[in-house]
Structure 1
């Protein structure tokens, strides 16, 4: 096939273009009505009380840990199989990152390994846990909430891969990623290869009003003009910087694009699940290990990750046929920055074994049947 097939691709239609043009020709390019409209629509989508739009998913993580009270010298626990930002957000505030190994079946942070870390240290050693809904597989947050309550920890859900996904709790109720029923806050990303593409962008959802107000303040330099929050008020022009915040705002035209994309996000997840089902059926009985999916979750399938013995060989072979598969992820604890802090090969064997075999195949709603069949054909051709 002459046309290249990437592992992920944004889908921009005329509705998206019209939304952006409308925003560009309005009175506001930033800090305008499109941002608020996107926040309200996303809060409804995630079934959360509050949503705060920011410049990207990393900014969302940074602001979330600050709003949850993470400070210099604190410690958090997260997964090594994620994008580096899931860990780096703690380092931005001077906190220490501890990685726990992953579950070999789901590839998610292993709650038993997290508990072992907590039990091995005096109570109060850790400040929070950041589980990642990797590849779109929703973390079962109910169990994490119980664990975090036991050890007085905040629970921050990294849901950048899983908007629209859900898990079923012990009461048989669907818990949508980001709804705030178990996590203190959740973060999302609107990078082009994600479910909702805004060019760049991120969102934080929470049901905690105090956290919400902190996020609003920190997003815009720590500055507020809200009369009820001012310590003094000199007139209509007056504002106060009440905290050391950041410029993590999203533009109105990005928010307009995100909101337009959000209107068809649910259908996108359905299509992703159909594509995943096609892959899984096609690889049945082969040497390709397909991802596990429990019947208690609705997987958002940001990624479709297989495992094969000769991962590099397959990666290179697919590229010769214009199929640009990708690896998600190099374990964060083995990045030079974290190795300098004492992490080494052998510390997290399950994650390291996973990394040696994992490969993300093309997964996006506009992947055609012909393209997927070609990908399957080439994967089976090589692995046989």
Structure 2
């Protein structure tokens, strides 16, 4: 076993980040202070959205989005099965029915066709929201998904933790992941392996000022301060949650956000190096398919591997990579196969999700990787596959 494993993802923290956090620690506000609004404003500018609301983590962002839309019992939410648990759980938290959509087996993404098929399984519930997941950083076909959702009175809520820095083009229009031009809201995560890190943290962007105000109340126990009221007066129209993001973490987020262009450029350079290095391993190993409209800042370097042709299981390949000092991960186990959701959806078979799961593997990708690390990873993968 190598002394140091190259992980599939890792934060990039420098002295400027540390100084920003230290300055926050020396300030009067450790939470609910000026750095929260500063981080929100800076993030909104970066993704070209009118409003951004910071919160405790990416899961809280999804939960708040459901609460802000007043999704509840009797409603349905469609999510792709290839995602992290939180995408489905946020609908379960509010008592809604979770309907799983299949995905394109080559990209892992929800498509207009897989959404249309899932819509036939909503049943008597009212479809309120569709949650496309920008897996790896590749953006779904939001323009087409929006048309389908609106045809039945639903809205999109983008699950975009992988996509900060990604851009896309629908027709002649250049857009930014998180600008919410096709959705009611977009949600982000700042977990350490994401594009920028705050330790834990999340953000919701929207173009709707009323939704933004509702999100801010719901993240802080449902409290609002009436205009002109005395400074100690607050009102709670409905229960909310303590989903605030402290100033200490917002200080780190502000510092990290200034490095986003450099992070994006480095991720794209590493991705291009991977594509060149992996080419000789085709067709046994190929990068995940990229939609024509998507220009990602990849969070994950996902490849599809024909383990059957290689004569090796994925577990064997991952163990062989680890012996050579290379970490890897699987994104994701289809959520509809988890015991809780399997009991609610007996017999549900989603062939695209299953095909993606059987072949996917995430290789190391983060800005701190050295130039030679890509060849090191690909050489180790070639050896692991024999």
TM-score (norm 2): 0.94
Structure 2 stretches of 5 or more lacking a match? Answer: 308-312
Q: Supply the RMSD in Å over aligned alpha carbons.
A: 1.5
Structure 2 contact 97–125 (Cα < 8 Å) conserved: no
Counterpart residue number, 1:300: 297
Matched, 1:349 2:316: no
Deviations 1:310-364 (A, max 9, x none): 32221110111221101111111111111121345x6111111211121100010
Counterpart residue number, 1:189: 189
Matched, 1:216 2:211: no
- Does the residue aligned with 1:203 lie in a helix, a strand or coil? strand
Counterpart residue number, 1:20: 21
Structure 1 contact 217–243 (Cα < 8 Å) conserved: no
Q: CA deviation at 1:370?
A: 2.5
| Alpha-carbon separation, structure 2, partners of 1:123 and 1:94 | 15
| Alpha-carbon separation, structure 2, partners of 1:306 and 1:280 | 10
Structure 2 contact 162–299 (Cα < 8 Å) conserved: yes
Q: Of the candidates 360, 367, 375, which is equivalent to residue 365 of structure 1?
A: 367
- Tell me how many residue pairs correspond in the alignment: 377
Structure 1 stretches of 5 or more lacking a match? Answer: none
After the TM superposition, list the runs of 4 or more consecutive aligned residues in structure 1 that deviate by more than 4 angstroms: 119-124
Matched, 1:225 2:228: no
| Alpha-carbon separation, structure 1, partners of 2:145 and 2:7 | 35
Q: CA deviation at 1:122?
A: 6.7
Q: Of the candidates 319, 323, 331, which is equivalent to residue 320 of structure 1?
A: 323
Counterpart residue number, 1:152: 153
Structure 2 contact 218–240 (Cα < 8 Å) conserved: yes
Deviations 1:138-181 (A, max 9, x none): 112111111111111021000010011121012x1111111021
Compared CA separation, residues 52 and 132, structure 1 to 2 (3 A) = same
Compared CA separation, residues 262 and 226, structure 1 to 2 (3 A) = farther
More deviation, 280-289/184-193: 280-289
Structure 2 contact 115–145 (Cα < 8 Å) conserved: no
Q: CA deviation at 1:382?
A: 2.1
| Alpha-carbon separation, structure 2, partners of 1:226 and 1:29 | 25
More deviation, 124-133/205-214: 124-133
Counterpart residue number, 2:285: 288
| Alpha-carbon separation, structure 2, partners of 1:295 and 1:2 | 40
Matched, 1:111 2:108: no
Q: How does 1:68-217 map to 2 (within 5 A)?
A: 68-119=69-120, 125-170=126-171, 172-217=172-217
Deviations 1:178-233 (A, max 9, x none): 102111100000000000100000000000111111101101000112426xxxx4
- Does the residue aligned with 1:104 lie in a helix, a strand or coil? coil
Counterpart residue number, 1:249: 244
Structure 1 contact 65–89 (Cα < 8 Å) conserved: yes
| Alpha-carbon separation, structure 2, partners of 1:181 and 1:110 | 18
Counterpart residue number, 1:65: 66
- Does the residue aligned with 2:273 lie in a helix, a strand or coil? helix
Structure 1 contact 102–351 (Cα < 8 Å) conserved: yes
Deviations 1:98-130 (A, max 9, x none): 101001232101221211232566797311100
Q: Of the candidates 374, 380, 383, which is equivalent to residue 378 of structure 1?
A: 380
